[in-house]
């Protein structure tokens, strides 16, 4: 009798449980479907302006752009993939220029508490300046739209990396520095072997934020330029093609998410390496 009861219990299907990721994914799909449904219904009930397309129209246009992303039918008729590559190239160059300035400068400033306090007001004043405010100054300095775009990307993305590098250098454990000093390490060797590894998590965190800002700025910077995802948005707005603008917004957001995740993995790796 007892054995039969145990066999019946074992044969009974267990209740399926969902883990956190599965529950979050189901909730994500539910929110997405509710949003798309409200959007579609809002257009049919004329709750929005007449230029607002429906969700179904936007999805069709989105598929048109991503199904053939690399066509080239002239300077003003290129696939979204080619435009995206142009924007990524500009962002990469501007980001690298800003990082090449921010990291060495942040280390030098962080090594001196007097210099760090003296420079901090300049950083705090310039950091919140909008990229649109830098555009006319960049044109006046560079006299070239392509160089101006790189200037705007670099000048707006430099501050998080600079601030985090200064913070990381200023907060290196003093015991590490004392050991290096006791062992007779030179200034350069101390920076390379002690300060940089200790400050690396903060530096990478700053680079992660700076890359997000660089990608954010590209739309505004490319209004002046031909090609690129920003110019595409501006051109489609002039043509009142809202579906194409929404497509560009989605692609910009997805690429930004991918870039952030990649730097997030790098940040985790650097932090884990430091803990180990």
In tens, the pLDDT along 87-135 reads 999 999 999 999 999 999 999 999 888 998 999 999 999 988 888 888 8
Tell me: pLDDT of 9 over 60.
no
- Residue 128: inside a domain: yes
Sign (positive/negative) of CA torsion 74, 79, 80, 81? Answer: negative
- Residue 64: inside a domain: no
Q: What's the domain count of the chain?
A: 1
Per-residue pLDDT tens over the stretch 182-197: 777 777 877 777 888 8
Domain limits at 179? 80-275
Tell me: pLDDT of 42 over 80.
yes
- Residue 168: inside a domain: yes
- Residue 73: inside a domain: no
- Residue 261: inside a domain: yes
Query: Residue with structure tokens 């969902």?
Result: 18
Q: Name, in order, each residue with C-beta under 8 angstroms of 264's C-beta and a sequence gap of 6 or more.
A: 208
| pTM score of the predicted model | 0.83
d(CA 167, CA 123): 13
- Residue 7: inside a domain: no
pLDDT of residue 188: 81
For the domain that residue 194 is a member of, what is the CATH number? 1.10.3720.10
Phi, psi of 184, rounded to the nearest 5 degrees: 80, 25
Query: Residue with structure tokens 């400068």?
Result: 105
- Residue 136: inside a domain: yes
- In 82-221 the beta strands, taken as DSSP E runs, fall at none
Per-residue pLDDT tens over the stretch 204-223: 999 999 999 999 888 888 87
pLDDT of residue 231: 87
- Residue 183: inside a domain: yes
């Amino acid at each position: 009798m007892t054995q039969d009861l145990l066999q019946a219990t074992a044969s009974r299907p267990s209740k399926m449980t969902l883990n956190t990721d599965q529950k979050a994914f189901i909730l994500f799909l539910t929110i997405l479907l509710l949003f798309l449904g409200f959007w579609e219904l809002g257009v049919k009930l004329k709750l929005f302006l007449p230029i607002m397309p429906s969700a179904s129209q936007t999805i069709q246009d989105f598929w048109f752009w991503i199904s053939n992303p690399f066509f080239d039918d002239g300077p003003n008729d290129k696939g979204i993939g080619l435009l995206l590559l142009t924007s990524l190239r500009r962002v990469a160059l501007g980001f690298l220029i800003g990082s090449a300035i921010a990291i060495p400068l942040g280390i030098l400033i962080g090594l001196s508490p007097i210099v760090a306090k003296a420079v901090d007001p300049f950083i705090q004043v310039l950091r919140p300046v909008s990229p649109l405010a830098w555009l006319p100054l960049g044109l006046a300095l560079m006299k070239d739209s392509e160089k101006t775009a790189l200037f705007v990307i670099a000048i707006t993305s430099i501050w998080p990396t600079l601030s985090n590098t200064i913070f990381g250098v200023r907060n290196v454990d003093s015991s590490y520095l004392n050991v290096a000093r006791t062992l007779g390490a030179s200034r350069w060797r101390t920076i390379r072997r002690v300060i940089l590894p200790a400050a690396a998590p903060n530096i990478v965190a700053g680079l992660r934020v700076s890359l997000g800002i660089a990608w954010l700025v590209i739309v505004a910077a490319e209004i002046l330029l031909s090609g690129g995802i920003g110019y595409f948005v501006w051109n489609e707005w002039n043509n009142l093609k809202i579906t194409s603008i929404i497509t560009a917004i989605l692609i910009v957001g997805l690429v930004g998410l991918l870039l952030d995740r990649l730097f997030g993995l790098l940040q985790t790796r650097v932090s884990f390496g430091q803990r180990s």
